[in-house]
Amino acid sequence: MADSSIDVRYVANLARINLSEEEVERFGSQLTGVMEHIEKLSEVDIEGIEPMSHANTTSNKVRPDEPVESLAAQGFLQNAPDQASGQLRVPKVVDA
Amino acid sequence: MLPTKRAASSVSQKSLTLKLSRYMSLAAQSLSSLRRQLTTGEISPRDIIEDAVSQISARDGDIGAFISSEPETALAEADKADLSLPLGGLPIAIKDNINVEGSPCSCGSKFLSGAYTSPYDATVIKNLRAAGAIPFGRTNLDEFAMGSSTENSGIQLTQNPAAPGHTPGGSSGGSAAAVAGNFIPAALGSDTGGSIRQPASHCGVVGLKPSYGRVSRYGLVAFGSSLDQIGPLTHTVEDTALLLNAIAGVDPRDSTSLDAEIPDYTEGLDQGVAGMKLGLPKEYFTHGIDPQVRARVESAAKALEAQGAELVEISLPHTEYAIATYYIIAPAEASSNLSRFDGVRYGNRTENPKDMLSLYTDSREAGFGSEVKRRIILGTYVLSSGYHDAYYLRALKVRTLIKQDFVQAFEKVDAILTPVAPDSAPKMGAASGDPLKNYLADIFTISANLAGNCGISVPLEPVDGLPVGLQILGPHLGEQTILRCARAVEFL
């Protein structure tokens, strides 16, 4: 946890976001400041402490296996940027 | 709003409200006051909506609380309202990140603006309708609820109605401004790190973040799923209790919602604080607080002591690590949640993408504003290979310690009193360009989200004309206690 700089362009690619040169520089310097603050956590003794991913300790709730009403396909498709034949349409992914 | 120095008993408060109600526009009145007038037939639900519509069209151009509203739909619902229900015929404004069937939902983002109509009602909206309420008006917010001034909205700016030129706080700044600006009797917001309580404090209204799991998150556009809760912003504590009655409860569509008993939150509000133990965490009253804000909080605590509460100094030793913990966990969850905005299923897609990858990357570049991009980068980084354990896993462990601080504190006290924010509402533009400075101002509110506790902000006497709130934190599912305490503060 020593180096506080983030390779913004590399991470932006992981997050599938295009950034301008200006954004890469600006976010880089702003996030370095944030990461320097975050380094505070290395002071804390976490030996033997369980991680808490959630405020409620319920797990694996099951419900009766009964069909219930859900949204019709048209409900989902009404906001689609592009659709055809009741399906979402995107640019060609696989070359024939 | 009522004058800051108010009558000492609830009886005179009620008669004062009744007298004022003859002169106040309907949209400016409390839910409970409107409900009385609806029951006696003095007014109709249509009168309230019509007044809200005219207030918004006359004055919201200067405030910017509302992104959109659909008067015709609301008026049609008003004419069918069932006044026998607890919120029968009462309009409630909805933060624009909560789905209302048939209405646009922008999340304050260019990604969704003009390109998304909700195909279903969020569970809180279903619950409001079941209680007779009418969702009316969609309120502005920081984009995807990321921010604390509403200046990160990709749609518009919102002014603080109590102090034009100042921000309303955020991210539920539109909801707070809608109530404080007397456009609507009450509103729903969402709170991931203080986004209900802080704007409530900055605008001078009451705002409650329920305990995690008390209210269903189904239909709230997710930001930090382990932190988000929906809650009310209202003129009075009683109104907050009325709204919580309606929206609380388990939901099969949200597996984190709790199947716990729902008391009538309006009952016992006037029991007072005599015998209550109220904690003052020493870590919250150190450096960095505006001295006048601190003085207001301390004098409220003294006043509660005079009413029979016992003040106890407590310690929440991991407070100094809360910001760092939160700004790992919240962006990590956000980076995952916001991956759904890819330009495939909904929202604005980039024009003529050259391939599938550029459809994603260009749609996200054009659709998201700076703060959202920054948090996605931060969240993706702390989850990325090689850094996950050093940052994310470590933060989850420190989160356990922060929660343990509260568990231990609530063994000694019934509720905890703190400031809501270190300062009153900042001027517009004051902190732009320095995200860390903005993040550090969340110090008093974020721990409740990390621990899952409930918290409420209730107005105190303003500082130099700017509203200031007192935060009352309660244990998990301790809403009755903090509402009772907030009610006592309301009458100081």
Question: Which residues on chain B are in Cβ contact (under 8 Å) with A15?
Answer: 335, 339, 364, 376-377, 380
- Give yes or no for a contact between B443 and B323, defined as CB atoms under 8 angstroms apart: yes
| Percent of chain B at pLDDT exceeding 90 | 93
Q: Annotate A13-73 with DSSP letters as a single string.
A: HHTT----HHHHHHHHHHHHHHHHHHGGGGGS--TTPPP---SS----------------H
Q: Give the three-class secondary structure for B457.
A: strand
Angle between helices B237-247 and B31-40 (to 10 degrees): 80
pLDDT at B13 over 80: no
Taking CB atoms and an 8 Å limit, are A14 and B384 in contact across chains?
yes
CA–CA gap between residue B131 and residue B118 (Å, rounded): 21
* Superfamily (CATH H level) for B5-274+415-490: Amidase signature (AS) domain (3.90.1300.10)
Question: Which residues on chain A are in Cβ contact (under 8 Å) with B323?
Answer: 37
| Percent of chain B at pLDDT exceeding 70 | 95
Cβ pairs A/B, distance under 8 A: 171
pLDDT at A25 over 70: yes
Q: Using CB atoms, which residue from B324, B342, B451 is nearest to A41?
A: B324
Active-site residues of B: which are they? 95, 171, 195
CA–CA gap between residue A52 and residue A68 (Å, rounded): 32
Average pLDDT of span B233-255: 97
Enclosing H/E stretch for B456:
strand B454-459
Average pLDDT of span B378-385: 96
Chain B nearest C-alpha distance from A43 (Å)? 9
Residue B388 token pair: 């996950």
- pTM equals 0.95
- Give yes or no for a contact between B310 and B277, defined as CB atoms under 8 angstroms apart: yes
Of B171 and A58, more confident: B171
Average pLDDT of span B412-434: 93
Strand partners, B280: B313
Nearest residue on chain B to A70, alpha-carbon basis: B120
Q: Annotate B313-360 with DSSP letters as a single string.
A: EE--TTGGGHHHHHHHHHHHHHHHHGGG-SSSSSSPPPSS-SSHHHHH
CA–CA gap between residue B409 and residue B314 (Å, rounded): 7
Question: Which residues on chain A are in Cβ contact (under 8 Å) with B353?
Answer: 91
CA–CA gap between residue B31 and residue B87 (Å, rounded): 8
pLDDT at B24 over 90: no
pLDDT at B124 over 60: yes
Taking CB atoms and an 8 Å limit, are B255 and A81 in contact across chains?
no
Please, what sign has the CA dihedral across residues B346, B348, B354, B360?
negative
Nearest to B324 by CA among B265, B402, B260: B402
Taking CB atoms and an 8 Å limit, are B377 and A31 in contact across chains?
yes
Nearest to B469 by CA among B423, B420, B427, B422: B420
pLDDT at A72: 86
Average pLDDT of span B103-108: 98
Chain A nearest C-alpha distance from B436 (Å)? 6
Q: Identify the residue among B380, B437, B476 best suited for mutation to test binding to A, counting A beta carbons within 10 A and taking the highest.
A: B380
